[in-house]
Amino acid sequence: MKQTQTTLSAIAWGLLGLLALIWGASFMSTRAALAEVGALTTVAFRVGGGAALLWVFVAATRLPVPKDARTLAALLGMGILNNAIPFSLIAWGQQHIASGLAGILNSATALFTVLLVPLFFADERLTLRKLLGVILGFGGVAVIIGVTNLALLNPRSLGQIAILGAAVSYALSAIFGRKYLKGIRPEVSSAGMLSAAALIMIPAALLHDGMPALAYGPRTWAALAYLAFLASALAYILYYLVLSHAGAGNLSLVTLMIPPIAVFLGALVYGEALPAQAFAGLAFLAAGLVIIDGRLGRLAFARRHPGKVS
């Protein structure tokens, strides 16, 4: 069966790089917010502010908003799986590990997605190539965390496990969204799921962290604004814009681009120095993701067999 690969234009590359930069910087911004704000309160600001901005966009563009019970329930499920759970786990985990390391471990989302999707959709098979990529990728995760550290269950290892838990939740949200959110404009679904997450996270933050004092410094407010307006609202709009320009296959490249950005910004702003095993694990993880993606294999095949498409 012939498959076509959407060619990346200069505009598509620019949009893809911008999206990777925005999401890569979100880990640094989360660390900045956590200096003065509780983990759950940070998430509440992020989803609440992001939802507000997206609803302004939806109203300004006059997009249709579904109001049936089934769709609202689906948006609630997406808000839990794609926002409330992973954002909370990432924020909690980053209280114990470096932002760059969180960015690396978060890329395991692709590994969990490849493993879980075939359980729900017959058209997404776990091929031998993908299985090899998953094994290599999880080998990298094991190197990053360290097998002996898992048994210790200290704050650092628990922080890393929390980031992996967020990756599992992201993978489940991709499955849930494909199954239950069909025929809805992505901007509307993004606004709806962030709103659902806000309905959960604001009460949870008030119960756990108490009423926020709001006497934060400029750096903290800038970090919270970044997480809400750029890393959430704008990023979702940009995500679907990249999808329309680059295609789903090329969009997956963002998974490979985020970790180096997160590591670089963590080192630049906070002087984070990750251990050698983190970079070794990143190499294995990146290699696994490249194998799963498969485009290098297709390129090699095309060079060996001109005129044929793998």
Q: What is the pLDDT of residues 218-258, one digit of tens each?
A: 999 999 999 999 999 999 999 888 877 776 667 777 888 99
User: What is the reported pLDDT for 300?
Assistant: 47
User: What is the reported pLDDT for 4?
Assistant: 47
Q: 304 is written with which tokens?
A: 């060996």
Do residues 174 and 110 lie in contact, with contact meaning Cβ atoms separated by under 8 Å? no
Give alpha helix (H) positions in 146-251.
Answer: 147-152, 155-180, 186-209, 218-225, 235-251
Cα separation, 195 vs 102, in Å, equals: 25
Do residues 292 and 129 lie in contact, with contact meaning Cβ atoms separated by under 8 Å? yes
Nearest residue to 232 (alpha-carbon basis) of 31, 59, 23: 23
Give the DSSP H/E element, type plus range, for residue 43: helix 39-61
Give Cα separations from 302 to 45, 52, 94, 290, 298 (angstroms): 48, 47, 43, 17, 6
Cα separation, 178 vs 249, in Å, equals: 16
Cα separation, 189 vs 225, in Å, equals: 21
Query: Residue 118 phi/psi, 5° resolution?
Result: -60, -20
Give Cα separations from 136 to 25, 143, 223 (angstroms): 26, 11, 35
Nearest residue to 247 (alpha-carbon basis) of 24, 16, 1: 16
**Per-residue pLDDT in tens (0 to 9) along the chain, 310 residues:** 444 445 667 888 888 899 999 999 999 999 999 999 999 999 999 999 999 999 999 999 999 999 999 999 999 999 999 999 999 999 999 999 999 999 999 999 999 999 999 999 888 888 999 999 999 999 999 999 886 666 667 888 899 999 999 999 999 998 998 889 888 888 999 999 999 999 999 999 999 999 998 999 999 999 999 999 999 999 999 988 887 777 666 777 788 899 999 999 999 999 999 989 999 999 999 999 899 877 655 554 445 545 454 4
Give the DSSP H/E element, type plus range, for residue 268: helix 254-270
Nearest residue to 22 (alpha-carbon basis) of 283, 225, 268, 169: 225
Do residues 258 and 77 lie in contact, with contact meaning Cβ atoms separated by under 8 Å? no
Give Cα separations from 292 to 68, 134, 136, 166, 249 (angstroms): 38, 7, 10, 20, 11
